[in-house]
């Protein structure tokens, strides 16, 4: 019954974790830099990790729906671990390399006076520190549990409404009003 009652709306609800993480990034960036940057709403990197929040929310909700001993939860959890590992290691290191390459390009231009052919700076904020991933993880866990509770409440209300309707129809049928 719980599988049949889930749909695309529940998938969209998981995106709440990503959106909240991105909003928190804008707020923390505003506090730290005293400047609002719309780029933080859509960009990678920063506090908290939106990727971590999203995949942990999906894993937690999957565990709650399907059981923490299910194969589908194991798959969701492995995906979450891979995404968080990538954010803290591969993407974080790529961002550090971009910083270094940008600094080297600036230094080359200052020393030689020549402009490099690619005037665009490499994007430096790509990955996350462990604390940024942990914050995203906590946000995702919290949203996964709260959305699960919300969906269960909605399902219960729907079931009660359906039962009331069935009782009303049964009562009318017994009284001979409905055939």
Q: What is the rounded average pLDDT of the residues 55-72?
A: 89
109-127: pLDDT as tens digits: 888 888 777 677 777 767 7
Structure tokens at 155: 């399902």
Is a pLDDT exceeding 60 seen at residue 106? yes
Q: What is the rounded average pLDDT of the residues 27-39?
A: 75
pLDDT band per the 50, 70, 90 thresholds, residue 4: very low
Q: What is the rounded average pLDDT of the residues 130-136?
A: 86
> CB-based burial of residue 25 (10 Å sphere; 0-12 exposed, 13-18 middle, 19+ buried)?
buried
Q: Check: pTM over 0.75? Answer yes or no.
A: no
Q: What is the rounded average pLDDT of the residues 70-84?
A: 92
Distance between CA 30 and CA 16 in Å, rounded? 21
Q: Which residues of 91-124 are buried (b: 16+ CB within 10 A; e: fewer)?
A: bbebbeebeeeeeebeeeeeeeeeeeeeeeeeeb
CB 136 within 8 A of CB 128: yes
């Amino acid at each position: 019954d719980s599988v049949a009652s889930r749909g695309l709306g529940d998938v969209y609800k998981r995106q709440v974790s990503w959106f909240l993480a991105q909003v928190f990034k804008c707020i923390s960036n505003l506090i730290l830099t005293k400047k609002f940057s719309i780029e933080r709403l859509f960009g990678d990197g920063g506090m908290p990790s939106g990727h971590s929040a999203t995949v942990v929310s999906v894993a937690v909700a999957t565990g709650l729906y399907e059981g923490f001993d299910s194969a589908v939860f194991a798959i969701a959890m492995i995906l979450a671990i891979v995404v968080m590992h990538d954010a803290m290691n591969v993407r974080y290191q790529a961002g550090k390399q971009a910083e270094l390459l940008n600094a080297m390009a600036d230094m080359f231009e200052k020393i030689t006076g020549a402009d490099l052919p690619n005037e665009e700076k490499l994007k430096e904020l790509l990955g996350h520190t462990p604390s940024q991933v942990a914050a995203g993880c906590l946000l995702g866990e919290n949203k996964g549990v709260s959305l699960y509770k919300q969906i269960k409440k909605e399902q219960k209300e729907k079931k009660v409404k359906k039962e009331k309707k069935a009782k009303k129809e049964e009562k009318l049928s017994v009284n001979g009003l409905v055939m």
